[in-house]
Structure 1
Amino acid sequence: MRLDLDRIRAARRVIDPVYLDSPLYRCEPLERALGCRIGVKLETANPVRSFKGRGTELVVHGLAERGERAAVCASAGNLGQALALSGRPRGIDVTVVASRSAPAAKLDRIQAFGARLELVDGDFELARSHAAELAKQRGVRLVEDSLDVETCEGAATIGLELAESGPFDAVLIALGGGALATGVGHVLKSLAPGTEVIAIQPERAPAMARSWRERRVVTTDSADTIADGVAGRFPIPEVLDDLLQVVDDAVLVRETSIIAGMRLFLEQAGLVVEPSAALGLAAILEDRDRFAGRHVATIVCGSNVDLAAYRGWLSA
């Protein structure tokens, strides 16, 4: 396991407090709708509206300590915002490579936070390849979400907060590159081993979940899901190794269930969330018997949505 519990505890002293101790509360209207006790861990109550700032704070702290002044990353939108905002007060020049098809709201906010934005005509995997080329050409740090242990250990501080607030029977975690699931999972298996750690991915972007099930890297030709934040096609072997040690189950859910989860968050909790953040509720909706009567926490990992697309999904 690449992650270290002592380093995760120490990370709290480095991460800007604006990202720490995010709200965790019981949502009774959701409980009545779903038939289980639900704790909502709200990772959107911060300036970048996602959990990514926890990891980028660690990355940028290390860059500044070493005197490095620039970094490049590929992003579906949320990592780029977080890296830009973390880098700005420390004088780090941040370039973000993203797909031209990424939500416009995310792209606009990346630039608003001071990053240079380069767009590619393709999906996230093409953006990742282009970012690696740029970093090599410029001789600067390539920040790779989930592969860079700082991104995992920053996310893992969420696990510390959940462990302190539990116990929970299960924690539901969106699965994309794997930083959130491996980080939170590592802490829970260390401090609350009785908690079931369940990672959730869309059926239409199943690469990491399939890899977990088959215990080997499985790639896909496409990742055609509204949950753009978890739409990778090429799992990272090192991250899969970590995931296999800390996740109890990897679940795939339908697009219709993701939309239903988003609608429930809006109608029952007053929360506008992006599709990736609704994966936990989607998993409950598709297997109510599994969660009936249990105490479950779901991590609301992001709320950066294109409003036109959001309205379209919920009105369908």
Structure 2
Amino acid sequence: MARTPTRAQIESAQELVATLFPGTAQYMWPLLAERTGCETWVKHENHTPTGAFKVRGGLVYIEDHVRRLGAEAGVITATRGNHGQSIATACRRLGARVTVVVPEGNSREKNAAMRAQGADLIVHGHDFQAAADHARERAAADKLLMLPSFHELLVRGVATYAMEFFRGCPDLDTVYVPIGLGSGICGVIAARDALGLGTEVVGVVAEGAPMYKLSFEAGRPVATNSADTMADGVACRVPVDEAFEIIRAGASRILSVSDAAIRAAIRAYYHDTHNIAEGAGAAPLAALMAEREAMRGRKVGLVLTGGNIDRTLFLDVLGEADAGDEKDFPA
């Protein structure tokens, strides 16, 4: 059985994360509450130094790596962006070398951020899985440590945002969390269990990348042939066995949302809170809006996991109209 981090391990990770930034806020936004029909609290992981939650796990993993093997031991990893930014930021801070492999057509702005954060960037493969396969090949050829996108140390680090969230809002009925390879939702499950809370944890995937929903329903890991979604943070097609075990044991359900619903949620976040949400970060709000009637009157948490969306895509999404837009702000 896969194990989640203990309370002591998460709290130790919190001390390390605090050396980089003081955590992120959670707010209850009135307009968002009107939209969702419930008391809606948002955990703002779009406000970290890299604009996404992943920086927490990267710092914990790389600190352990440098302490055991030294800063001269190079690492390589694959990413669609936020994981790579987290590792590059941690490596630069701790003096380690890092190579990051991204797929073709990856976000230009995320690529630029990773280079600025000190990563040697390689573009290879048609999707994340192909990039990850290439990274493993380069790791063997160049004698680099292949850093996975899911690892217990990464979960330990990202669980710190959930610990902050649950301590700030200990009586949440339900928390909606997006799922890529699974570190975020596993961290939420770990923090909830460490604090002995009864909060339901609901995972959210994109309809075009449903591997964990299919796996949850089948009771076993199920891979897909493609991951077709504008939400690159959840565009994965091969589940991690260890993550699946934790999700199956700790999540209440997994929902899938369409790209159209994700785009509407991006607009809703901007309209109601003036925050920028990337596709994966908006997916939990899309799921809550789909379950509006069932969740009416409850106290609900949303994890806005990141705000790293390319400007051109963001402007395109904002330019689309929602029904009733002209009535949103009456004179």
SS at match of 2:203: strand
5+ residue gaps, structure 1, are: none
Output one character per residue of 1:230-259: Cα deviation in whole Å (capped at 9) or x when no partner: 110000111111111211111111111111
In 1, Cα distance between equivalents of 2:252 and 2:21: 27
CA drift at 1:314: 2.6
CA drift at 1:174: 0.6
Match of 1:274 in 2: 278
CA drift at 1:202: 0.7
Output one character per residue of 1:109-157: Cα deviation in whole Å (capped at 9) or x when no partner: 00011100000131000011011111122222211112x1111111111
Match of 1:4 in 2: 5
Matched, 1:299 2:300: no
Output one character per residue of 1:181-228: Cα deviation in whole Å (capped at 9) or x when no partner: 011112213324321100100111101121122111111111110111
The correspondence for 1:53, drawn from 52, 55, 75, is 55
Matched, 1:96 2:100: yes
Matched, 1:15 2:17: yes
- The letter for the 2-side match of 1:37 is E
5+ residue gaps, structure 2, are: 321-331
Match of 1:124 in 2: 128
The correspondence for 2:166, drawn from 147, 163, 168, is 163
Whether the aligned pair in 2 keeps the contact of 1:163 and 1:192 (CA below 8 Å) is no
Matched, 1:25 2:62: no
CA drift at 1:16: 4.3
Matched, 1:201 2:202: no
Match of 1:34 in 2: 36
CA drift at 1:4: 2.3
- The letter for the 1-side match of 2:116 is A
| Range with bigger deviation, 219-228 or 62-71 | 62-71
Match of 1:262 in 2: 266
Whether the aligned pair in 2 keeps the contact of 1:223 and 1:232 (CA below 8 Å) is yes
Q: Which has the larger radius of gyration?
A: 2
| Range with bigger deviation, 128-137 or 225-234 | 128-137
In 2, Cα distance between equivalents of 1:181 and 1:295: 19
| Range with bigger deviation, 188-197 or 277-286 | 188-197
Output one character per residue of 1:28-62: Cα deviation in whole Å (capped at 9) or x when no partner: 11001111111110012122100011000111111
The aligned length equals: 315
In 2, Cα distance between equivalents of 1:301 and 1:17: 20
The sequence identity of aligned pairs, in percent, is 29
Output one character per residue of 1:84-125: Cα deviation in whole Å (capped at 9) or x when no partner: 111012211010000121111101100011100000131000
In 2, Cα distance between equivalents of 1:160 and 1:215: 28
The correspondence for 1:80, drawn from 72, 79, 84, is 84
| Range with bigger deviation, 62-71 or 175-184 | 62-71
Map of 1:105-254 to 2, 5 A cutoff?
105-146=109-150, 148-165=151-168, 166-254=170-258
Whether the aligned pair in 2 keeps the contact of 1:43 and 1:49 (CA below 8 Å) is yes
In 2, Cα distance between equivalents of 1:67 and 1:285: 47
Match of 2:326 in 1: none
Match of 1:314 in 2: 318
Whether the aligned pair in 1 keeps the contact of 2:176 and 2:288 (CA below 8 Å) is no
The correspondence for 1:65, drawn from 64, 67, 79, is 67
In 1, Cα distance between equivalents of 2:124 and 2:18: 31
In 2, Cα distance between equivalents of 1:144 and 1:128: 9
Matched, 1:286 2:305: no
CA drift at 1:287: 1.8
| Range with bigger deviation, 7-16 or 264-273 | 7-16
SS at match of 2:16: coil
In 2, Cα distance between equivalents of 1:272 and 1:163: 23
TM-score (norm 2): 0.92
- The letter for the 2-side match of 1:27 is W
CA drift at 1:20: 4.5
SS at match of 2:43: strand
SS at match of 2:160: helix
SS at match of 2:122: strand
